[in-house]
Amino acid sequence: MKNLKDLRRELELVFNGVKNGSIDVQSAKSLVATSNAILKTVQLELDRNKMTGELTAIDWLGEEEIKRGEIVHPKPLNEKE
Residue 10 CB partners (closer than 8 Å, separation 6+):
1, 31, 35
Tell whether the model's pLDDT for residue 70 goes beyond 60. no
Q: What percentage of the chain exceeds 90 in pLDDT? A: 37
Distance CA 53, CA 72 (A): 17
Tell whether the model's pLDDT for residue 5 goes beyond 90. no
Q: What is the mean pLDDT of residues 1-12?
A: 87
pLDDT, one tens digit per residue, over 35-64 is 999 889 888 888 888 888 877 777 777 644
pTM: 0.66
pLDDT, one tens digit per residue, over 18-32 is 999 999 999 999 999
